[in-house]
Structure 1
Amino acid sequence: MGMGRNLSRRKTVLKCRRRERRKRGRIIPLETLMLKRITLTIFLFALIQTVFAQTSAGGNLPAGFKLPIQDIGGPLLHSIPIPDDPMIQHYINEYSRESGQKTMSAILQRGAPYLGFIYNSLLEAGMPAELMYLPAVESGFRAWALSRSGASGFWQFMMNSISPYDIVVNEWQDDRRDFWKATGAALSKLRFNYERTGSWPLAVAAYNCGLGRVERAVAAAGTTDYIELFNQGYIPRETRNYVPKFFAFAHIAGYAAIHEVSSAAVFNTASAQNSAGWEQIELNQAVNLVILASKAGIPVPLLHEANAELRHGITPPAVNGYFLKVPSGYSDNVRKVLENTEEPLMRFYIHEIQGGDTLYALSRHFGVSVSMIEMYNPAVDARALRSGQKIIIPALKETGPFRSDYNAPERWNFSLAYTIKAGDSLWSISRAFNTSVEEIAFNNGMRTDETLKVGLIIQVPREN
């Protein structure tokens, strides 16, 4: 009996000790843990939606409040409330397939050098971070992307939409491919869309199909629900797919590890906020990107893509002014190279004018435009080239010296008078007399684009 009582007492003591150890070791049942996590997620989700609704409406964050970092772990938080749209889930499923994962990984890897810049630009503008993935849907982060309708660059600007922004398009550059300028312009456009519509889904829709069309749709339908706008036929099918595709891409990219997107492509917001990023360096000379990259130790493809707006891989003449974009890690090297005036960063051909030479013929041979030659030779008059005169021509390609096949005494004798008639042009006259527009203009002291007046007498060649 005594032994039995002692054994029973020992068992009771052991149970109490186990209970105390479980409390000290925080051994909590799995069901309880899951319930607490779900409750916390719901609370945080509601909190973030409230905060962003407040800031989007122009309010301020509570004192000491910091936005949670969207990354590969933690609760699924979004700064733009995701619409209740089955099409979004459709595209999430598409991107979650093996082929979709490969596509997303490739896009994110192409965008990796620029996502930090776009992300920080959005933070400075007080705009939702998810918008940094809009170029993924627009262009797949291809710097030289050109759509069938003529839209160009990461953000796919059309020529008719660049006028409000600092975007230059000329024979030297197409700033629609300038990731720095185009990002600033795109964010301004998106912000304006949001201010007019009061809805980020509609702001994104307007970026695709135009703000005017969205505003007319809202006015006609009496609703700001883009799904309903489409169902009533006010929003085009392309935009109906565009908006859900963006939300699906942003959701998966924000939590790439969960969706098994390549870890190499995962964007880390914490590192982006602290990354060195990019710098702009103002140039006071023309620069060939290949020469500069080799001297500064920058990979040539990286420098070319960062300055994809340059049509020929050379910067405009210094009189135009140009800001070169370089990764911050290479900026000191670039500045040292630029400060060394003994190191040429541009190659030119030097050509001595011979009888019969024209800027047009030289431009065809050296692969440059006439205006480009004129820009580097401001003292040269194309209508009055002199034999022995020396000009410089940008070396955009490897080619041999120019040799004119023009020999006036042997081929042409511009001694025949011709009176201009209605409908005449230099082109039609050159065809009639088996010569060229440039030759007629050269021998008559005219411009190649000069308007001909009826009754004007010019000299044309008389064949020997």
Structure 2
Amino acid sequence: MVLSRSFVAIAAAIVLLPSIPLGHAQATSAASQSNPAQHQRVQQLIQNVEKAYENGVANYRDGHLSAAKSNFDYAVDQMLTSGIPIKSDADLSAEFDRIVDAVNTLEMDSLKQGNGFAGTAEPTPAEAAEQATFSVDPAVVAQAQEALKTTQSDLPLVLNDYVASFITFYTKSRVGHGTIVASLQRAGRYREMIEKVLKEEGLPQDLIYLAFAESSFRPQALNAGSGAGGMWQFMPFGVYGLSRTGWYDERFDPEKATRAYARLIKANYAQLGDWYLAIAAYNWGAGAVQRAVQRTGYADFWELYRRNNLPAQTKNYVPEIIAVALIAKNPKQYGLEDIQPDPPLLMDTVKTDYSVDLRLVADITGAPVQEITGLNPSLLRMATPPDESYDLHLPAGTLDLFQKEIAEIPEDKRRYWRFHKLASGETLEEVARAYHVSAAEIATANQLTSTDDVSNLEALVIPVAPATAPALRTALYHARRGDSLVTVADRFGVTVDQLKRWNRLKTKAVPVGRGLYVAEPANISSSVSRSSRGRASTGAARRATTRTSGKASRHAVKSTGNAKARASQAKPAQHRARKS
């Protein structure tokens, strides 16, 4: 990616923003004054944060946005996971606000250039259709006219050449047909929820098909051009009633985003009085549509279309949705009767006010990590936010089990510790090697001794220490005895496929001592010497975790009170349930 001059200028200007002088705090808190050891710890933390941030700016200037994102994630993660309440120390609070504000500024400019710090985005069905060239098939028109006679809909459905052209694309072209098949399959996961929300808001049920054009029913869809995200493609800024913090982005929460969509489309209809205009306004904006109506005197979408008073994308938007509704409601006529929609997502929900790693949730519920992340697509850091209420979704039927087992783990350890179900014949030493902890540590956490027989236990709590991030320059981990790509990937919160790609490996076996990149190496030209190549640091966030609207990020972390402090004193877990 080639950066614009303004892009580089902003990065340079941010480096010059006033920072906290290392070793000389501008606003030393009373707590730091009375606790020299704490003050020294805070200053060392700030120094480490500054190094990570400066590496991020350097990568940002060079156009290595993925590496910059990892650096920025690591800078913020160090403060969030330090164990020091950010708001309780003036130095650390000021540093947190400065870093978050600086990264937000960089990302806002990056969004103008493309898609922020996020990776390459998959095109939406609407974008795919825009690139296609297709004509109206008379046979398709005749077929659609017959279908329309018996189609029941709570939206006004019409058939004209504009609509027919999209029916042709989605039923006759390979790309179009594949898109609608995948979308209608995926829609099964969310249809029941969306229809429930639309009904509660008093809206037509067939407004569900806007999700096809916007995202193909993908909760984490991203638009490469605008930065819009989620099933309903909300922008990263704007007043939609959706929160964004360093821990979660509610644009990617299917139900909350659907609520926001329903409110917005309802407001569009209240303003414009016509469903086609309301749908066009969802794409172009209610104010823009209102001005087009006032300018022409026609409150009619098709008249605005014919008079060329709509942008090209909005012209396509309404007929595409009508076409998809006609196809979806008449699957047999379009050869789609064999489509099996995905089953609805069924889940239990528990409110958390502590940070818990999704891998620990997977351990306890017995579900794959991918299933847990799929149930919680709005989480950005593979963990729930600390000190804030959050609705954590669990596989259906696992709520009681989760609440029982999570109670065994101290609250402040739930972001790091794991839960291991013992296999037949498995020993304490074998478990300890798998998690790179000592048998004595596991025994203490479970109120055992290192010589106790664990054959009659069902599971153990594993006191895994917070993973130490590799050096920013290398992100290199040296394999130990008993390591495999699976255990290394689990330890550093990445996937086996990522490790194989970053290290050009073909098998999962890892020789002892082998150096492994556990973060994505910076994408630097081969003309740069190996010794000067930087490597992206590991970070817990899956997405751009530090971005928020305005100053909202300053409230992402709240100071912990005495109750939290008491809870942070690690208590050994109770004995695990005995096998019957």
| TM norm structure 2 | 0.44
Residue 94 and residue 292 in structure 1: after superposition, are their counterparts in 2 closer, same or farther (change >3 A)? same
Give the aligned partner of residue 190 of structure 2: 114
Give the aligned partner of residue 180 of structure 2: 104
Return the letter of the residue paired with 1:143.
P
CA separation in 2, counterparts of 1:305 and 1:233? Answer: 42
Offset at residue 288 of structure 1 (A)? 1.1
Give the aligned partner of residue 360 of structure 2: 291
Q: Tell me the C-alpha RMSD between the 2 structures.
A: 3.2
Mean Cα deviation higher: 252-261 or 175-184: 252-261
Matched, 1:305 2:374: yes
Residue 127 and residue 340 in structure 1: after superposition, are their counterparts in 2 closer, same or farther (change >3 A)? farther
Percent of pairs identical after alignment? Answer: 31
Residue ranges of structure 2 left out of the alignment (5+ in a row): 1-145, 418-435, 438-467, 474-490, 495-580
Offset at residue 101 of structure 1 (A)? 2.9
Residue among 315, 321, 328 paired with 2:389: 321
Return the letter of the residue paired with 1:124.
E
CA separation in 1, counterparts of 2:218 and 2:178? Answer: 16
Contact persistence 1:366–1:396 (CA under 8 A): no
Residue 182 and residue 117 in structure 1: after superposition, are their counterparts in 2 closer, same or farther (change >3 A)? same
Offset at residue 291 of structure 1 (A)? 2.0
Where 1:263 maps in the other structure, the secondary structure is coil
Deviations 1:149-173 (A, max 9, x none): 1101111100233x241x1212211
Offset at residue 309 of structure 1 (A)? 1.5
Contact persistence 1:104–1:261 (CA under 8 A): no
CA separation in 1, counterparts of 2:187 and 2:367? Answer: 18
Residue ranges of structure 1 left out of the alignment (5+ in a row): 1-41, 47-74, 351-361, 368-394, 399-464
Return the letter of the residue paired with 1:242.
Y
Contact persistence 1:190–1:203 (CA under 8 A): yes
Residue among 221, 231, 235 paired with 1:145: 221
Where 2:332 maps in the other structure, the secondary structure is coil
Residue 347 and residue 263 in structure 1: after superposition, are their counterparts in 2 closer, same or farther (change >3 A)? same
Where 1:308 maps in the other structure, the secondary structure is coil
Deviations 1:97-151 (A, max 9, x none): 2623322111222332212111111122221111112111101222222112110
Residue 292 and residue 185 in structure 1: after superposition, are their counterparts in 2 closer, same or farther (change >3 A)? same
Contact persistence 1:296–1:333 (CA under 8 A): yes
CA separation in 1, counterparts of 2:209 and 2:403? Answer: 32
Offset at residue 222 of structure 1 (A)? 1.4
Return the letter of the residue paired with 2:231.
F
Residue 340 and residue 135 in structure 1: after superposition, are their counterparts in 2 closer, same or farther (change >3 A)? farther
Return the letter of the residue paired with 1:191.
K
Contact persistence 1:85–1:227 (CA under 8 A): no
Give the aligned partner of residue 501 of structure 2: none
1:246-261 counterparts in 2 under 5 A? 246-261=321-336
Give the aligned partner of residue 63 of structure 1: none
Which one scores higher on RCO, CA 8 angstroms, separation ≥ 6? 2
CA separation in 1, counterparts of 2:214 and 2:345? Answer: 26
Matched, 1:194 2:269: yes
1:148-227 counterparts in 2 under 5 A? 148-161=225-238, 163-165=239-241, 167-227=242-302
Residue 346 and residue 364 in structure 1: after superposition, are their counterparts in 2 closer, same or farther (change >3 A)? same
Mean Cα deviation higher: 258-267 or 167-176: 258-267
1:397-408 counterparts in 2 under 5 A? 397=493
Where 2:333 maps in the other structure, the secondary structure is coil
Deviations 1:215-237 (A, max 9, x none): 11111111221121122232111
Contact persistence 2:221–2:231 (CA under 8 A): yes
Q: How many residues align?
A: 281
Contact persistence 2:222–2:230 (CA under 8 A): yes
Deviations 1:344-401 (A, max 9, x none): 6421799xxxxxxxxxxx878599xxxxxxxxxxxxxxxxxxxxxxxxxxx8648xxx
CA separation in 1, counterparts of 2:470 and 2:247? Answer: 17
CA separation in 2, counterparts of 1:101 and 1:332? Answer: 43
Where 1:324 maps in the other structure, the secondary structure is strand
Return the letter of the residue paired with 1:156.
Q
Residue 103 and residue 235 in structure 1: after superposition, are their counterparts in 2 closer, same or farther (change >3 A)? same
Matched, 1:129 2:200: no
Residue 114 and residue 197 in structure 1: after superposition, are their counterparts in 2 closer, same or farther (change >3 A)? same
